[in-house]
Each structure stands twice: as C-alpha cells, then as structure tokens.
C-alpha cells in the first residue's frame, strides 16, 4: 500500500472517530437533560409526598407513593449508568482520536521527508547535468584551443 493510501485511510479514521465523538456527545447531552428532568420530577414528587404525609395518608396511598418514587429512583439510576457508560466511551474514543491524529502527523512528516528527498535527488540530477554540460563545453573549448 502506498504512503498516500495509508495517509488517506488514517485521515478517514480521524473523520470517523470525530463523527463517533459527535454522536456520543449528542447522546450524552440528551441523557444528562433527561437525568436533570427526572431529578426535578423526583424532587417535586418527594415534596408532594411529604406534604400529603403531613396531612395523613391511607396505606394504599403510601404504597402507591413508595412504588412511584422507587420506580423514579430506579429509572434515575438507569439513566446515570447510561451517562457513566457514555462518558467512558467518550474518553476511550477521544484517546483513539488523539492516537489517530498523532499517526496522521507522523505520516505527514514521512511524506514531507520523502518529498524533500525526491526534490534533493532531482536537484542533484539537475546539478550533475549542469556540471556535465559545463564540463563538455570546457572540453570542447580546450580541443578547439589546441
């Protein structure tokens, strides 16, 4: 595989990882918003429960409130676990992106060195051709002078 092909593959990897990060950030943002909304709802329900408890609750109402708030806490924990997972995934993807970018820079330097070597070889050939032409002119002149 040529260096240009390898560079293109690495550039595509960087683009793919950036796209993946974008999707993770979107999901993470959505989950965090959902978590905040659920927290607010749980807090409001806790306050409503406390107010009703002060006024007196039937056993049925008490069980309904407890079931409702347990379900909310469980859902909140589930969303928190999703946020934690997405955060870990983001960190892993970010590390992979940093490494891919590092590889791209390395490949760029290799390509630049190759181009520099090609230019230097070309300049040497041109110099050799110039020297050779000058040598022939000197040789022709010295034969003509003799």
Which residues neighbour 52 within 8 Å (Cβ) at sequence distance 6 or greater? 61, 65
- Burial degree of 102 (CB within 10 A; 0-12, 13-18, 19+): exposed
CA angle 11, 16, 17 (to 5 degrees): 100
Domain contains 27 = yes
* Separation between Cα atoms, residue 145 and residue 113, nearest integer Å: 47
Q: How does residue 63 score in pLDDT terms, banded at 50, 70 and 90? A: very high
- pLDDT(138) > 70: yes
Domain contains 119 = no
* Separation between Cα atoms, residue 33 and residue 75, nearest integer Å: 14
Domain contains 124 = no
Query: Based on the structure, what is the number of domains in the chain?
Result: 1
DSSP classification of residue 9: H
- Residues 92-107 pLDDT 10s: 999 999 999 999 999 9
- pLDDT(143) > 80: no
Domain contains 82 = yes
Domain contains 140 = no
- Residues 114-136 pLDDT 10s: 999 999 999 999 999 898 888 88
Which residues neighbour 50 within 8 Å (Cβ) at sequence distance 6 or greater? none
Domain contains 9 = yes
Domain contains 75 = yes
3-state SS string for 116-145: HHHHHHHHHHHHHHHHHHHHHHHHHHHHHH
Q: Which domain holds residue 94?
A: 3-104
- pLDDT(49) > 70: yes
Domain contains 141 = no
């Amino acid at each position: 595989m040529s260096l240009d092909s390898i560079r293109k593959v690495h550039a595509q990897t960087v683009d793919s990882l950036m796209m993946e990060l974008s999707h993770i950030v979107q999901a993470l943002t959505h989950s965090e918003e959902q978590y905040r909304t659920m927290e607010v709802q749980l807090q409001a329900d806790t306050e409503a429960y406390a107010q009703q408890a002060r006024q007196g609750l039937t056993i049925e109402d008490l069980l309904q409130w407890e079931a409702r708030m347990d379900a909310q806490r469980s859902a909140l924990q589930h969303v928190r676990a999703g946020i934690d997972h997405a955060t870990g995934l983001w960190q892993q993807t970010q590390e992979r992106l940093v490494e891919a970018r590092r590889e791209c820079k390395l490949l760029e330097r290799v390509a630049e060195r190759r181009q520099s070597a090609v230019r230097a070889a070309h300049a040497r050939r041109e110099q050799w051709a110039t020297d050779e032409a000058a040598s022939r002119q000197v040789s022709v002149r010295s034969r003509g002078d003799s």
